[in-house]
Amino acid sequence: MAKRVIVRGGIISTDSDVFRADVVIDGEVVSALTTDSSGVEADEVIDAGDLLVVPGGIDAHTHFKDPDPNEIEGFYYGSLGAVAGGISSVVEMPQATPVASESSHIMEKIRIGEEKSLVDFALWGAAINQDLESIEEMIDAGVVAIKSFMAGSSPGFPRITDASMYDVFALLADTDIPYGLHAENDELLQDGIATLQAAGENDPLAHADSRPPVVEAEAINRAIFFAEETGARAYICHSSTVSGLELVRQAKERGARVEVETCPQYLALDTDDLVRLGPFARCAPAIRERDEVELLWSYVQDGTMDTIASDHCGYTIESKEAGRDNIWNAPLGLSGIQTMLPAMLDEFIHKRDLDFTDFVRVTSTNPARIFGSYPRKGTLRPGSDADIAIYDLNASWTVTGSDMLHRNKWTPFEGKTIGVRCVRTLVRGATMYEFNGEHVIHGNAGHGRFINREYGTGG
């Protein structure tokens, strides 16, 4: 007999409904939702009275970097950060050593993930101007999406040429596989950096000034155009500007196959945080001014924004400190997998009066739909994986790096107070993480399972 667990008494939200129910879990899957489970025998009862119970978060954009000789992050520590924030699966980016651009690299990442990860994981493959056959072979190996950089921005990950990018779009046109783009215009970007450096501007705001919204919007425009010309599906990573999102909104109205992501750093932080944290807030695109941040929320509200993902990129403290006196010396990327969902729930529910269903839609259901794991993931209904995050909506805590479980103990939310805490995360029926005043890890490395694009329909 499979172990039976009951999550009793919580407020449940899916992407469409909020209701009170007990969740009955048999083994790895939800077997029933019932208003009264008092007569049901169980091996374990989790008391969720007054807590929020939602489908586990799916982080569509995370960098665990394995294989990683530089100890930036890895499947083990990265997934500890994930479960401590309510994330039960990730779609992991191809930055690694080497960059995952061939099927042999994908197979190696699957092996490492299945050995080390606590959360389920899907994989992105990289398009870096290689032959299309390599991309087809990565798809055969099970990647759920393909990623390119339109600008030179990530060490070791060459930017794609327009010609190669067009070819990849054409290759993917007959599939549902999203083509994810880091959308920034390379020439505008390099020119912006060179101009500011030549003027001796080395302070944190020079970073933001070097890549203003037009740098991003132009590239989004080009990506949408290629997607519409070929009929393929574009996924715009980490959007941060109104001008770019307006292009996406219009494209969606025309029926283009385009989806768009943003990150907590573009919805909750602003240039004051960039000034305050310096290198520890340097990322690409840059963190924006408060007016832009506020306007971004209207695209979350009206449904234009499809997903919120962390873009977790946990560089070492040492490497970030190198940019203390000269912002250009700090690597681009923020660690954020642990803080993402509590910080976003705090914004949605306490600060902006959005609905639980909106939160679930962009952090779980939409990523599951876009990357092929719906309805086994991204919802809570009989037959779904019992991937569950439980939140205390009245638990205020002040974020500090030493509280992070991912490998490198720093956070761009340093010093911020968040009014929501993740108190438990289940991955396929098993509690991986619990907060009882302290972090408690119950799960083992290797619990995580590789999920391919057919996972949602039983493959």
Stretch that binds Zn ion, among 202-210, 256-264, 304-312, 317-325 (CB under 5 A): 304-312
Q: Distance between CA atoms of 380 and 31, rounded to whole angstroms?
A: 10
- By beta-carbon proximity to Zn ion, the closer residue of 15 and 66 is 66
Q: Which amino acid is at 272?
A: D
The greatest distance separating any two alpha carbons of the chain, rounded to the nearest whole angstrom, comes to: 73
**Nearest-approach distance from CB 442 to Zn ion, in angstroms:** 29
- By beta-carbon proximity to Zn ion, the closer residue of 59 and 218 is 59
Q: Which two tokens stand for residue 258?
A: 């385009």
**Nearest-approach distance from CB 93 to Zn ion, in angstroms:** 6
Q: Which amino acid is at 72?
A: I
Is residue 273 at the binding interface for Zn ion, with CB under 5 A as the rule? no
- By beta-carbon proximity to Zn ion, the closer residue of 335 and 384 is 335
Q: Which two tokens stand for residue 64?
A: 């665990």
Is residue 261 at the binding interface for Zn ion, with CB under 5 A as the rule? no
- By beta-carbon proximity to Zn ion, the closer residue of 311 and 385 is 311
Strand partners, 125: 146
Stretch that binds Zn ion, among 143-151, 170-178, 307-315, 351-359 (CB under 5 A): 307-315
- By beta-carbon proximity to Zn ion, the closer residue of 159 and 421 is 159
- By beta-carbon proximity to Zn ion, the closer residue of 31 and 95 is 95
**Nearest-approach distance from CB 236 to Zn ion, in angstroms:** 12
**Nearest-approach distance from CB 333 to Zn ion, in angstroms:** 7
Stretch that binds Zn ion, among 311-319, 321-329, 385-393, 401-409 (CB under 5 A): 311-319
Which of 55, 53, 26 lies closest to 42, judged by CA? 26
Stretch that binds Zn ion, among 15-23, 110-118, 309-317, 423-431 (CB under 5 A): 309-317
| Residues 282, 321 contacting (CB under 8 angstroms) | no
Q: Provide the 10 A C-beta neighbour count for residue 242.
A: 19
β strands within 222-312, DSSP E: 234-236, 258-262, 307-308
Q: Distance between CA atoms of 415 and 417, rounded to whole angstroms?
A: 7
**Nearest-approach distance from CB 337 to Zn ion, in angstroms:** 12
Stretch that binds Zn ion, among 125-133, 141-149, 306-314, 396-404 (CB under 5 A): 306-314
**Nearest-approach distance from CB 149 to Zn ion, in angstroms:** 9
CA 239, 321, 441 angle in degrees (round to 5)?
70
Stretch that binds Zn ion, among 126-134, 213-221, 265-273, 303-311 (CB under 5 A): 303-311
**Nearest-approach distance from CB 343 to Zn ion, in angstroms:** 18
Q: Distance between CA atoms of 8 and 56, rounded to whole angstroms?
A: 17
- Binding residue (CB under 5 A) for Zn ion from 15, 311, 346, 385: 311
**Nearest-approach distance from CB 311 to Zn ion, in angstroms:** 4
Instruction: Using CB positions, name the residue nearest to Zn ion.
Output: 311
- By beta-carbon proximity to Zn ion, the closer residue of 157 and 413 is 157
For residues 44, 45, 51, 52, the Cα torsion angle rounded to the nearest 10 degrees is: 60
Q: Give the H/E segment covering residue 238.
A: none
Sequence-separated (6 or more) residues with CB below 8 Å from residue 170: 230, 232
CA 80, 81, 85 angle in degrees (round to 5)?
115
- By beta-carbon proximity to Zn ion, the closer residue of 62 and 79 is 62
- By beta-carbon proximity to Zn ion, the closer residue of 59 and 434 is 59
Q: Distance between CA atoms of 37 and 130, rounded to whole angstroms?
A: 55
**Nearest-approach distance from CB 59 to Zn ion, in angstroms:** 11
Which of 443, 417, 418 lies closest to 429, judged by CA? 443
Residues within the interface to Zn ion (CB under 5 A): 311
